[in-house]
Homo-oligomer: A and B are copies of this chain.
Amino acid sequence: MTPQQKAEAAAKLMYDDDRASRALGMELLEVRPGYARMRMTVRVEFTNGHGICHGGFIFLLADSTFAFACNSHNQRAVAAGAAIDFVAPAHEGDVLTAEGVEQHLGKRNGVYDMRVTDQHGHLIALFRGRSATIKGRFFDETPGEQS
């Protein structure tokens, strides 16, 4: 399998089990080794007491995208932490896209940067996630097992 085939296979298995991302209507648009891109529409129930999209849902989209990027090598990894800067509000009906790449991958940890933009290409938020490698893979990479 090529790295790209591994990334797609791991993403498919992970997405099928990811109730949270699916329940929120997130689409996985693209995955590559160390990279992912997802899309989500802001629903009315994502809005907060100021009438704008709750920042937590913007974080959720970026965090899911980060998860697909950092699991794209078929080595399980979880979020150890993350930071987000909110630069513009999002509103009901906006179509948000999160996209980002691996900045660093070490033995135990990785760093990934995600950008969230709206349907006009305007920047909504910048997210940086730190991953921690855990045991396990999404599928066995032994030759002959994948056929």
Identical copies in the complex: 4
Closest chain-B Cβ to A19's Cβ sits at a distance in Å of 5
Q: Which of A1-9, A29-37, A84-92, A139-147 participates in binding chain B?
A: A84-92
Within 8 A of B (CB), among A80-106: 80-89, 103-104, 106
Of chain B, the residue at the smallest CB distance from A87 is: B104
CA distance A59 to B64 in the complex (A): 12
A121 to B63, CA, bound (A): 25
A120 to chain B, nearest CB (A): 15
Q: Are B130 and A111 in contact (CB under 8 A)?
A: no
Contact with B along A57-80 (1 / 0, CB 8 A): 101110110010001000010111
A39 close to chain B: CB less than 8 A: no
Min CB gap A12→B, angstroms: 10
In the bound complex, do residue A14 and residue B49 qualify as a contact, i.e. CB atoms below 8 Å apart?
Answer: yes
A20 touches B54 (CB 8 A): yes
Chain B residues whose CB sits within 8 angstroms of the CB of A88 once the complex forms: 106
- Cβ-defined partner of A45 (8 Å) among B23, B81, B123: B23
In-complex Cβ contact of A130 among B23, B48, B76, B81 (8 A) = B81
